[in-house]
């Protein structure tokens, strides 16, 4: 009888996991990999987690999640660690040799400067796996990747290094992560079906048996690696394009002194309409990379994709245009070189510490050229992004800035910011006291109170129109 999980029946695979006899390695313990490791632990597997981030490795080896904003992940990782169900290492070869199912969750970023894709992290893991791959093992790629990567990059390396053959000696699937940073475990286990694609039917059978024990929404099987890769990318492209549309529609509403949110809610009562919310741009690792992957593939296929390209361009320039519009408005009122601005939020969105591709960084880097000082406060971000201008001053507490800034800009919808009272906001400001809320954090009641205190409040997509005031005052 041939050994290895690839040769198990669905029932045998289920038993192997539930009985705690499945050994899983997870390569990459970031915002995706760590929740995956915990989910597999909680389902019954013994897990080896691999990280190349030394700071994260030190925390994880003490039972501490490096992402404290995700309370569920923090709690469950500690439990897995204390129960000795997860082992943390930086040794990829060790993890590869001592596991049956190998899950890859390393980043594959797109370089917008030269249009290239950085496969180095994936190739490194693939080489380590190929050197240690045993008959009956299964590899599961969960990273978001350009179309064709699973077959043309990962599978090629695995077969060349191991001298084994897919479907004969080992299994391979592409199963894209479908999580929202900050609620990853809930998404994995409760919110969405798990998508699994492979050209190998046996791989689909075994991995689906495993994931049926994790995903309460079930499993969607796709017949090829490519179909699953595209499914994941299309999710992100849809959102990227629609965020660009939302911002254009919000501009129209602002210019006409109409509430975009009021219109949006009414429009979305029709089941075929899904208008998104506007903001200051699109960030995070996912959406910018996904659109760029698809744009690059379309060019390779000699296809035009103007909707996707224009949406991506609009989202890229939005934080810059918002910064320039704000500066134009301020210059029409007073000398910007004497102004200090506080930016609330460096993360790309609320309730996360993730600053990758954050539009807030581009916003800060633009306004800092024209004003006296830019302070930045984010309760989740302990270290500034590498791309943040070194002149920006990160502060640890808002109490440091009592009556020190003329302008306050909200660029992330953290729950902490939503709880700020009119008095707390007022305490930070000195004349001319201007608040610009790009994320719709300030509710109507707080806005009314602030305006009664003589503070000018501009909320994205809401009257009084931020954009119309800029256009009428800026020369």
β-bridge pairing 23-27 and 101-104: parallel
The answer to whether 290 touches 147, Cβ cutoff 8 Å, is no
Q: Which residue has the higher pLDDT, 72 or 473?
A: 72
Count CA within 13 A, CB hemisphere, residue 231: 21
Q: Are both 253 and 274 inside the same structural domain?
A: yes
Residue 466 pLDDT > 60, yes or no?
Answer: no
Q: What percent of the chain has pLDDT over 70?
A: 97
pLDDT at position 44 = 97
Q: Are both 15 and 49 inside the same structural domain?
A: yes
Q: Are both 107 and 244 inside the same structural domain?
A: no
Q: What percent of the chain has pLDDT over 90?
A: 86
Q: Are both 98 and 163 inside the same structural domain?
A: yes
Domain residue limits at 125? 5-223
Average pLDDT, the chain: 93
What is the band of 472 on the pLDDT scale with cuts at 50, 70, 90?
A: very low
Q: Which residue has the higher pLDDT, 28 or 111?
A: 28
The answer to whether 135 touches 282, Cβ cutoff 8 Å, is no
The tokens for 79 are 């439990």
Residue 65 pLDDT > 50, yes or no?
Answer: yes
CA distances (Å), 52 to each of 29, 60, 89, 125, 310, in order? 9, 12, 8, 11, 36
Q: Are both 158 and 253 inside the same structural domain?
A: no
Q: Are both 290 and 163 inside the same structural domain?
A: no
Domain boundary among 197, 223, 249: 223
Residues 6+ apart with CB under 8 A from 345: 360, 377, 378, 410, 411, 412, 413, 414, 417, 439
Tens of pLDDT, residues 39-50: 999 999 999 999
Tens of pLDDT, residues 407-465: 999 999 999 999 999 999 999 999 989 999 999 999 889 999 999 988 999 999 988 65
Q: Are both 418 and 321 inside the same structural domain?
A: yes
Q: Are both 289 and 175 inside the same structural domain?
A: no
pLDDT at position 160 = 97
Q: Are both 324 and 409 inside the same structural domain?
A: yes
Q: Are both 244 and 260 inside the same structural domain?
A: yes
Domain boundary among 223, 254, 271: 223
Q: How many domains are contained in the chain? A: 2
Residue 473 pLDDT > 50, yes or no?
Answer: no
Q: Residue 64 is part of a domain; what is its CATH number?
A: 3.40.50.720
The average pLDDT across 313-326 equals 93
Domain boundary among 192, 223, 254: 223
Residue 470 pLDDT > 80, yes or no?
Answer: no
pLDDT at position 217 = 95
Q: Are both 289 and 204 inside the same structural domain?
A: no
Q: Are both 323 and 390 inside the same structural domain?
A: yes
């Amino acid at each position: 009888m041939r050994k290895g999980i690839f040769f198990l029946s669905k029932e045998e695979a289920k038993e192997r996991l539930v009985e705690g006899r499945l050994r899983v390695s997870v390569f990459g313990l970031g915002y995706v990999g760590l929740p995956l490791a915990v989910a597999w632990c909680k389902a019954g597997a013994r897990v080896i987690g691999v990280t190349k981030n030394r700071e994260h490795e030190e925390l994880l080896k003490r039972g501490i999640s490096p992402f404290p904003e995700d309370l569920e992940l923090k709690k469950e990782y500690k439990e897995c660690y204390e129960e000795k169900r997860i082992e943390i290492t930086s040794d990829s070869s060790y993890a590869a040799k001592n596991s049956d199912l190998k899950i890859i969750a390393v980043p594959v970023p797109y370089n917008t400067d030269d249009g290239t894709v950085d496969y180095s992290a994936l190739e490194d893991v693939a080489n380590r796996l190929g050197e240690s791959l045993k008959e009956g093992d299964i590899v599961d790629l969960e990273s978001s990747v350009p179309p064709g990567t699973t077959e043309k990059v990962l599978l090629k390396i695995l077969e060349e290094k191991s001298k084994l053959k897919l479907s004969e000696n080992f299994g391979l699937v592409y199963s894209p992560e479908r999580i929202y940073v900050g609620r990853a475990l809930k998404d994995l286990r409760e919110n969405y079906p798990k998508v699994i694609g492979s050209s190998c039917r046996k791989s689909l059978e075994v991995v689906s048996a495993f994931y049926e024990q994790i995903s309460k929404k079930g499993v969607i099987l796709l017949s090829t690696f490519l179909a699953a890769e595209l499914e994941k990318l299309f999710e992100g492209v849809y959102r990227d394009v629609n965020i660009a549309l939302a911002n254009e529609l919000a501009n129209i509403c602002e210019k006409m002194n109409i509430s975009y949110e009021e219109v949006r809610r009414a429009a979305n009562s029709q089941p075929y309409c899904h208008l998104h919310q506007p903001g200051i741009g699109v960030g995070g690792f996912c959406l910018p990379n996904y659109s760029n992957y698809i744009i690059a593939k379309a060019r390779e296929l000699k296809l035009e994709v103007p909707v996707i390209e224009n949406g991506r361009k609009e989202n890229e320039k939005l934080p810059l245009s918002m910064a320039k519009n704000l500066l134009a408005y301020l210059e029409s009122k007073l000398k910007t070189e004497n102004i200090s601005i506080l930016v609330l939020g460096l993360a790309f969105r609320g309730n996360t510490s993730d600053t990758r591709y954050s539009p807030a960084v581009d916003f800060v880097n633009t306004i800092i050229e024209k004003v006296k000082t830019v302070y930045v406060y984010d309760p989740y971000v302990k270290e500034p992004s590498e791309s943040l201008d070194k002149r920006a001053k990160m502060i640890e507490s808002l109490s440091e800035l009592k009556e020190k800034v003329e302008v306050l800009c909200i660029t992330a919808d953290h729950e902490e910011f939503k709880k700020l009272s009119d008095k707390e906001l007022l305490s930070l400001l000195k004349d001319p006291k201007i608040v610009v809320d790009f994320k719709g954090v300030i509710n109507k009641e707080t806005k009314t109170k602030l305006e009664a205190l003589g503070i000018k409040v501009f909320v994205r997509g809401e009257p009084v129109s931020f954009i119309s005031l800029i256009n009428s005052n800026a020369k």
